[in-house]
Structure 1
Amino acid sequence: MKTKNSETITVGGGCFWCIEAIFNEINGVEKVTSGYTGGTVPGIPTYREVCSGKTGHAEVIMATFNPDIISYEDLLVIFMTGHNPTTLDRQGADVGNQYRSVIYYHNEKQKEIATEVVKQLAPYYEDKIVTEISPAETFFAAEDYHQNYYKNNQSQGYCSVMITPKLDKIRKMHADKLKPVSM
């Protein structure tokens, strides 16, 4: 449900399934779509093409959120603590430029906030943050089977080994930012 006051955030930090699962739990996030952006190859990229690392696209999520509930800055802090922003073109076993850590800003205010968040978080990491901050480019939604992947495949090996621990970490670190649990 998109509200009148919705804004957009586009970020990538490894496999989009992980980032999508995190953003789906954040209060104020209205919709999350996994997809691809930042590539140099013409046409609509496919998962297979992006995974080859030859298109230049990053696996990202694009989310709409209500800034009256959650700020862009808070979303970036959650994003930056939900993956390792110090590894170039890599998150765990996922290696290649399609898994780069990147913030795609949609306006100058987002660029300023992103730059400031990275600067503020830098002292908390032993290694240098390598997260790109780049202007938003054309976004291509990933194939349907990638949408809500964690929700639909929680018992799958990758989900239980890679995504569940990230969610557990986010749930502890950012408990006050999560959607209310319905019983």
Structure 2
Amino acid sequence: MDTIRKIAFGGGCHWCTEAIFLSLKGVQKVEQGFIAATESASSFSEAVIVSHQEDHISLKKLIAIHLHTHKSTKDHSSRTKYRSAVYVFDTSEINEVKNILRSLQNDFVDPLITQVLLHTDFKPSEEQFKNYYYSNPEKPFCERYITPKLNKISNDFSNLIDKEKLSRYPLTAQK
């Protein structure tokens, strides 16, 4: 029997992040919204909560995909709204995630700025914004920002992609 595990990710627009994780095998549910954490990260930031089957997709692979689909090495003025983070739901997960981040640093020239934070609160997005990409793939925002990220994971992580779901969308037809 598959174990379902929850982890949360923030880094860029939650519409983009949601589409990425909804496109993966082994992901059971993606909840889009705003997450607050402890201490200096107590303000709400755009993020998603991902429920996944560990037997189908590992935490390390999820984190790798997350790091490669947002600016995980760049600080910028919108980091309060778009905090680069992996949110854990139990303090026992902090060291595991930090170790994964250390092991993935070799994939990047610049140092990762992604934080490991303890989730404290979640506010879901309004219903009209949930499943945004798969409801609106032709919208200019989707074509400009989300489709390129889905193309990237389709190329770089092809064995983890739910090809049936993505086959309904013209990923290479980006402008």
TM-score calculated relative to the size of structure 2:
0.85
- Give the letter for the 1:32 counterpart: V
Q: 1:168 Cα shift?
A: 0.3
**Contact conserved, 2:84 with 2:115, CA < 8 A, in 1?**
yes
- Give the letter for the 2:96 counterpart: I
Q: Structure 1 CA distance, aligned partners of 2:81 and 2:8? A: 14
Match for 1:86 among 66, 73, 76? 73
Identity of aligned residues (%): 28
Deviations 1:31-71 (A, max 9, x none): 1110111179xxxxxxxxxxxxxx82110001111111111
Q: 1:105 Cα shift?
A: 0.9
Q: Tell me what 1:5 maps to.
A: 3
Q: What's the secondary structure of 2:81's corresponding residue? A: helix
Q: 1:102 to 1:89 in 2, by over 3 A?
A: farther
Q: 1:9 Cα shift?
A: 1.2
**Runs of 4 or more consecutive aligned structure 1 residues displaced over 3 Å after TM superposition:** none
Compare 76-85 and 105-114 and name the one that shifted more.
105-114
Total equivalences in the alignment: 163
Q: Tell me what 1:175 maps to.
A: 158
Q: 1:4 Cα shift?
A: 6.6
Q: Structure 2 CA distance, aligned partners of 1:164 and 1:109? A: 35
Q: Tell me what 1:30 maps to.
A: 28
Deviations 1:121-154 (A, max 9, x none): 2233222211111111111111111110011111
**Contact conserved, 2:37 with 2:119, CA < 8 A, in 1?**
no
Match for 1:66 among 53, 71, 80? 53
Q: Tell me what 1:51 maps to.
A: none
Q: Structure 1 CA distance, aligned partners of 2:128 and 2:11? A: 19
Q: Tell me what 2:126 maps to.
A: 143
Q: 1:109 Cα shift?
A: 4.6
Q: Tell me what 2:146 maps to.
A: 163
- Give the letter for the 1:177 counterpart: L
Match for 1:19 among 17, 20, 23? 17
Q: Tell me what 2:83 maps to.
A: 100
Q: 1:89 Cα shift?
A: 4.5
Q: Structure 2 CA distance, aligned partners of 1:111 and 1:139? A: 19
Q: Tell me what 2:171 maps to.
A: none
Q: Structure 2 CA distance, aligned partners of 1:107 and 1:123? A: 27
The RMSD of aligned alpha carbons is 2.1
Q: 1:14 Cα shift?
A: 0.8
Q: 1:100 Cα shift?
A: 1.4
Match for 1:121 among 90, 101, 104? 104
